[in-house]
Amino acid sequence: MAKILIVDDEKGIRDVLREYLELDGYEIGEAVDGMDAIKQAKAGDYDIIIMDVMMPKLDGYSAVKEIRKEKDVPVIMLSARSEEYDKLFGFEIGVDDYVTKPFSPKEVVARIGAVLRRGKSASKKVVSDGLEIDIAGRAVYVDGEKVYLTPREYDLLFYLVKNAGIAIPREQLLADVWGYDFFGEDRTVDTHIKMLRSNLGPYRDKILTLRGVGYKLVL
């Protein structure tokens, strides 16, 4: 099972995350600030780091920059700050996900699983029943027959695959698949989902509609 480093100056948060993650079988390490995180990350081999932003001695963003000089390890940021600027800055320095406090421990566990699956599936095929999705080859097969999607449909499907099992709001799909400079609306996502489902044929129901929220892919 994967090894996770939890970095947060609040012991209560570290304890809660440790409890939930150990129940899922993860091996856990802890760090109490940015400097401690750098030291432990460089000394050990972690599969993913959960990093708080605001900490004494060294903030989370600075710690990530330093760690990434030697280790290409996925990072999920935790922060009480929910402004778009903070999230964009995190993604610009290469973090893999961003969770705003207060958070649900179950959501963090789900996001960890998604990031880990994303790394494993980035260069291989994903097969579910008769649906085969080749991310590296940018190809999709339904019951052995290749289906042809538009470039945007490929991007949308691959994004859903990389975040399989997670409820994704329409706004997030617009931001991550279409881009922050896209001036469309939620209906754009709905239209593309409809076309994508049509192309998936008998496996269209693998894309679930979460009323009032968005969509989720179940593999």
- How far apart (Å, rounded) are the C-alpha atoms in residues 41 and 68? 10
Residues of the chain with CATH 3.40.50.2300: 3-119
pLDDT score recorded for residue 111: 85
The 10s digit of each residue's pLDDT in 143-186 is: 999 999 988 898 899 999 888 888 999 888 888 888 754 455 56
pLDDT, mean over the chain:
87
- 123-217: CATH topology is Arc Repressor Mutant, subunit A (1.10.10)
Task: Single out the residue of 12, 219, 15 nearest to residue 118, CA to CA.
Answer: 219
Calculate the alpha carbon distances from 216 to 156, 159, 206, 208 in Å.
12, 11, 8, 5
Q: Which CATH architecture has domain 3-119?
A: 3-Layer(aba) Sandwich (3.40)
The 10s digit of each residue's pLDDT in 51-110 is: 999 998 899 999 999 998 888 788 999 988 766 667 777 777 778 888 888 888 988 998
Give 205's DSSP letter.
Answer: G
DSSP reduced 3-state for 187? helix
Neighbours of 57 (CB within 10 A): 13
pLDDT score recorded for residue 182: 47
Residues of the chain with CATH 1.10.10.10: 123-217
